[in-house]
Amino acid sequence: MGCREGEGGVITQRVSTGIEGLDEVLQGGFPKGSMILLGGNPGTGKTIFSAEFLYHGARDFFENGLYVSFSEGRDAFIANMSSLGLDFEKLEREGKFKILDLVTVKEAGLDTLMEMMTSDIDTLGVERLVIDSFTAMANAFAKPIDVRIALHLLSKIVRQSGCTTIVITEIPTGEQRIGLGIEEFVSDGIIVLEKRWVEGRLLRELVVEKMRGTRMARTRFLFTLHNGFKVFQPFKAGRVEEPRRFQPIPHTEERFSTGSEELDEIIGGLPRGSAVLIEFGTEISREASMLFSVPIMANFGTQGMAMIILPCSGFNAETIYEIAKEFQLTEEEINDLLRVIERPRPYLKRDVDYVFVPKGQDIREVYEGIARLRQELRERTGKPVLGFIGLDTAGIVLGEESLRNILDQIVTDTRIEGGLIVFVSKPGVEGIAQYVANMADIHVRVVCENGVILFYGVRPRTSLYVAEMDCSKGYPMPKFTPIL
């Protein structure tokens, strides 16, 4: 709870929404005593949103709650919410929460209903009220009621009681708007929950259409219902407080590890001898893209395995050296195991082993030079070699036509040698990326939506995951949360 300056200098006291990640974007929470309309198609998370609002209000902020239910009976509500870790029975016993189960009460008139609510609000000292849903309430009466009158009556109760109130409105599937026509005038805030599909995968969005006295830089936010209602903030690169050496994840007989246990779990590891394509969409920052490529490299390097890298644009031998140092590979490991392919540059450091400048007149000779390097590394380490190719750079250096010609060879050689080849594509090389996608055993995509980084597997097919940066291990790692 906190006090903030609202529009026109009016002081608005805020109450926490109880939703992870939402208070931050609402200048502290809902205006205290406000009436919020919460709309959405069936299954968009309205009940879960309201339950968290009541639960955290009662448990963490000493604001007792009343849940007026027309759509879900008491037992179903308690059971569903306990599966999300919200123990409403305990709150009931402690006198902090009450369910007014009106699912079967259809004979009562509007006046009787309003009296029941007011009485409960007074008896329990309720400060948070949820009507689930206004739509079901309007349909509950034997005698048809005017929704306008009902909404005005509700808003009167809200003003008199001072309760911060969520009024749920069911939006029929296929429609977008709340559509009462009067909601703008009686409500202090309107939030709509939406479902959307990205390449056939479920994405959830929360839209703040109106919030009295609240300045908002952005009004659309991605969220998940995984382990409760959580709103995602735009991707932020974290800072490593205490740098530590990368902790390798052992490979298995059949599969290499990605370097991230979570990612291994999601895509099932990387089969030995396979080709991998990581496709990045637009607006993916450098830090975000590194979360997917660097752990694979660090996991090979820290297990004495060599790698040959043709970096993406924006990276070169020096930057990759710096990254290897951040993950605390030793100077010796770097010079033994790392080979970054560079074009001849006049200012190139010649005295380091990790820069490899291929010699040769044509693409064949260049490729044979790299194949010999791979063989030398494999024999010296006694382990398979990781190949890493930025398709943007490769396309520019070799030309798309020559690149296509050697891609099959690279993939075939990798299969025979039981190594791993990772291709990375960025916007602008879709043609060649499609060519590689057809050959790849593993194909994943990283895209940006509302500033949030989303990850999904095309092969194997996975649902959407939000990727965030986790620095708690002493180096940057991806952290994945499924959109459910």
Backbone φ and ψ of 157, nearest 5°: -60, -40
| In contact, 247 and 393? CB cutoff 8 Å | no
Q: What's 376's DSSP letter?
A: H
Question: At its nearest, how many Å lie between ligand ADP and the CB of residue 316?
Answer: 44
Question: At its nearest, how many Å lie between Mg ion and the CB of residue 38?
Answer: 10
Q: Which two tokens stand for residue 295?
A: 């752990």
From first CA to last CA, the distance across the chain in angstroms is 29
Question: At its nearest, how many Å lie between Mg ion and the CB of residue 418?
Answer: 52
Q: Does the protein bind ligand ADP through residue 42 (CB under 6 A)?
A: yes
Q: Measure the CA–CA gap between 395 and 404, rounded to whole angstroms.
A: 9
Binding residue for ligand ADP, selected from 3, 76, 182, 484, defined by CB under 6 A? 484
Q: Provide the pairing of β-strand 465-470 with 452-459.
A: antiparallel
Our CB check for ligand ADP shows the closer of 133 and 299 to be 133
Give the one entry of Mg ion, ligand ADP, none that residue 83 binds, where binding means its C-beta sits below a cut-off of 5 to 8 angstroms depending on kind: ligand ADP
| C-alpha 472 chain-centroid distance | 18
Q: Does the protein bind ligand ADP through residue 47 (CB under 6 A)?
A: yes
Contact region for ligand ADP (CB under 6 A) — 1-9, 37-45, 142-150, 338-346? 37-45
Give the one entry of ligand ADP, Mg ion, none that residue 224 binds, where binding means its C-beta sits below a cut-off of 5 to 8 angstroms depending on kind: none
Our CB check for ligand ADP shows the closer of 46 and 339 to be 46
| SS3 of residue 226 by DSSP | coil
Our CB check for Mg ion shows the closer of 47 and 274 to be 47
Q: Does the protein bind ligand ADP through residue 40 (CB under 6 A)?
A: yes
Contact region for ligand ADP (CB under 6 A) — 80-88, 243-251, 354-362, 428-436? 80-88
Q: Provide the pairing of β-strand 477-482 with 30-31.
A: unpaired
CA distances from 125 to 108, 116, 117, 313, 416 (A): 24, 14, 12, 62, 73
Q: Measure the CA–CA gap between 74 and 80, rounded to whole angstroms.
A: 10
Binding residue for ligand ADP, selected from 46, 56, 251, 339, defined by CB under 6 A? 46
Give the one entry of Mg ion, ligand ADP, none that residue 12 binds, where binding means its C-beta sits below a cut-off of 5 to 8 angstroms depending on kind: none
Name which of 182, 191, 223, 195 is nearest 209 in CA terms: 191
CA distances from 381 to 7, 320, 335, 336 (A): 67, 21, 13, 9
Q: Does the protein bind ligand ADP through residue 45 (CB under 6 A)?
A: yes
User: Among residue numbers 378 through 397, which ones bind ligand ADP (CB under 6 A)?
Assistant: none
Q: Measure the CA–CA gap between 102 and 132, rounded to whole angstroms.
A: 10
Q: Does the protein bind ligand ADP through residue 83 (CB under 6 A)?
A: yes
Give the one entry of ligand ADP, Mg ion, none that residue 263 binds, where binding means its C-beta sits below a cut-off of 5 to 8 angstroms depending on kind: none
Q: Does the protein bind ligand ADP through residue 43 (CB under 6 A)?
A: yes
Q: In 10 A of CB 401, how many CB atoms?
A: 9
| C-alpha 54 chain-centroid distance | 25
Give the one entry of Mg ion, ligand ADP, none that residue 484 binds, where binding means its C-beta sits below a cut-off of 5 to 8 angstroms depending on kind: ligand ADP
**How many chain residues are in contact with Mg ion, going by CB under 5 A?**
1
Question: At its nearest, how many Å lie between ligand ADP and the CB of residue 90?
Answer: 18
Q: Does the protein bind ligand ADP through residue 230 (CB under 6 A)?
A: no
Q: Does the protein bind ligand ADP through residue 225 (CB under 6 A)?
A: yes
Our CB check for Mg ion shows the closer of 134 and 327 to be 134
Contact region for ligand ADP (CB under 6 A) — 24-32, 39-47, 150-158, 434-442? 39-47
Give the one entry of ligand ADP, Mg ion, none that residue 56 binds, where binding means its C-beta sits below a cut-off of 5 to 8 angstroms depending on kind: none
Q: What angle do CA 144, 146, 149 make, to 5 degrees?
A: 140
Question: At its nearest, how many Å lie between ligand ADP and the CB of residue 130?
Answer: 11
Give the one entry of ligand ADP, Mg ion, none that residue 48 binds, where binding means its C-beta sits below a cut-off of 5 to 8 angstroms depending on kind: ligand ADP
Question: At its nearest, how many Å lie between Mg ion and the CB of residue 432?
Answer: 47
Q: Measure the CA–CA gap between 320 and 338, rounded to whole angstroms.
A: 9
Binding residue for Mg ion, selected from 47, 50, 302, 414, defined by CB under 5 A? 47
Peptide bond into 460 cis (omega under 30): yes
Question: At its nearest, how many Å lie between Mg ion and the CB of residue 132?
Answer: 6
Radius of gyration of the chain from its Cα atoms, rounded to whole angstroms: 29
DSSP 161-182: H--EEEEEEEPPTT--S---S-
Residues within the interface to ligand ADP (CB under 6 A):
40, 42-48, 80, 83-84, 225-226, 484
Residues within the interface to Mg ion (CB under 5 A):
47
